[in-house]
């Protein structure tokens, strides 16, 4: 088992990539705090884990709200005695319009969840990891954090920010034995891309726009997150691991 007795928080754990990662972490021996803004879906993930004999608990937290995030971290350390891993994964897409037409409120909503949420997750987790003698942080960026794309300026900016913010944390806390990396998925089959799947004209193009010619599954991202979280990645920090089927290369 790669995460035996480790304590891990997974945000956005009620959805595709977060849920697949929570299930995999639990199989690898972690005690998992499944956090999401959606109580029901977080609890469904916990039920899945428990049905396979794993250990998990659900916590409702809005990652854009610093009070919620601080409570999430303190609940975790009170429940399991410490914190070893946080996967800052909660995220949302943006209303797809040209930059000048994007409402300011929509910019704030997306950047608050996708970028400030990652900042808050790290801000409250890092002191607990220092107390523990080290830890691993994985932040969810995106293929779109590396490139331009029409009509998704808030999303792309937030995901580009996650890459740089992860590097900052990596250089500030490396000597405290905390590794910080980003995972950058390409097109993965989850709820967040439902509007793309519903577009009969564009979907065949989007779904094949990578070297492998197919979309990815959440479990394929989860395996990369497990690598970054585990001691297999003991000398890996400050990097962004693309799990995009060769989407950036394409
Ligand atoms: N699916 C893809 O193609 C793809 C590609 C690149 C990056 N990503 C990123 O992967 C991450 C996970 O997304 P997914 O694809 O699993 O989609 P998803 O919609 O299935 O999961 C996202 C989860 O985040 C939760 N969430 C939304 N707002 C929240 C908030 N304010 N606080 C806490 N939780 C909140 C949702 O309830 C949901 O469970 C996101 O950061 C997303 O941007 C996804």
Q: Is the CB of 18 under 6 A from ligand 1?
A: yes
CA-to-CA distance for 204 and 187, rounded, in angstroms?
12
* 191 ligand 1 Cβ < 6 A: yes
Q: Closest ligand 1 atom to the C-alpha of 141? A: 7
**214 Cβ contact list (under 8 Å, min separation 6):** 207, 208, 245
Tokens of residue 132, six digits = 């523990």
Mutate to test the pocket of ligand 1, among 9, 13, 14, 17 (most ligand atoms within 8 A of CB): 17
Query: Measured between alpha carbons, how far is residue 45 from residues 23, 54, 156 in Å?
Result: 7, 11, 28
Taken in order of first residue, the domains within the chain and their CATH numbers are 7-239 (3.40.50.720)
Cβ 72 vs Cβ 9: under 8 Å: yes
pTM, two decimal places: 0.99
- Go through 178-191 and write b for each residue having 16 or more CB atoms within 10 A of its CB, e for each that does not: bbbbbbbbbbbbbe
> pLDDT per position in the chain (250 positions), as tens?
999 999 999 999 999 999 999 999 999 999 999 999 999 999 999 999 999 999 999 999 999 999 999 999 999 999 999 999 999 999 999 999 999 999 999 999 999 999 999 999 999 999 999 999 999 999 999 999 999 999 999 999 999 999 999 999 999 999 999 999 999 999 999 999 999 999 999 999 999 999 999 999 999 999 999 999 999 999 999 999 999 999 999 9
């Amino acid at each position: 088992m790669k995460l035996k007795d480790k304590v891990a928080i997974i945000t956005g754990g009620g959805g595709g990539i977060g849920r697949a990662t929570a299930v995999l972490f639990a199989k690898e021996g972690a005690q998992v705090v499944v956090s999401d803004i959606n109580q029901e879906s977080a609890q469904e993930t916990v039920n899945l884990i428990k049905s396979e004999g794993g250990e998990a608990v659900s916590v409702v937290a809005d990652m854009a709200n610093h009070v919620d995030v601080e409570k999430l971290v303190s609940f975790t350390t009170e429940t399991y005695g410490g914190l070893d891993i946080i996967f800052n994964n909660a995220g949302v897409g943006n209303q797809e319009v040209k930059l000048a037409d994007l409402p300011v409120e929509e910019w704030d909503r997306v950047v608050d969840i996708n970028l400030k949420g990652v900042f808050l997750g790290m801000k409250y987790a890092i002191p607990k990891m220092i107390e523990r003698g080290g830890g691993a942080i994985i932040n969810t960026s995106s293929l779109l954090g590396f490139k331009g794309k029409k009509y998704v300026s808030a999303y792309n900016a937030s995901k580009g920010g996650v890459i740089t913010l992860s590097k900052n944390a990596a250089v500030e806390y490396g000597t405290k034995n905390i590794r910080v990396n980003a995972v950058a998925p390409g097109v993965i089959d989850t709820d967040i891309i439902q509007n793309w799947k519903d577009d009969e004209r564009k979907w065949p193009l989007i779904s094949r726009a990578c070297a492998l010619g197919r979309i990815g599954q959440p479990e394929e991202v989860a395996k990369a997150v497990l690598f970054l979280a585990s001691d297999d990645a003991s000398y890996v920090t400050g990097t962004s691991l693309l799990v995009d089927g060769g989407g950036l290369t394409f």
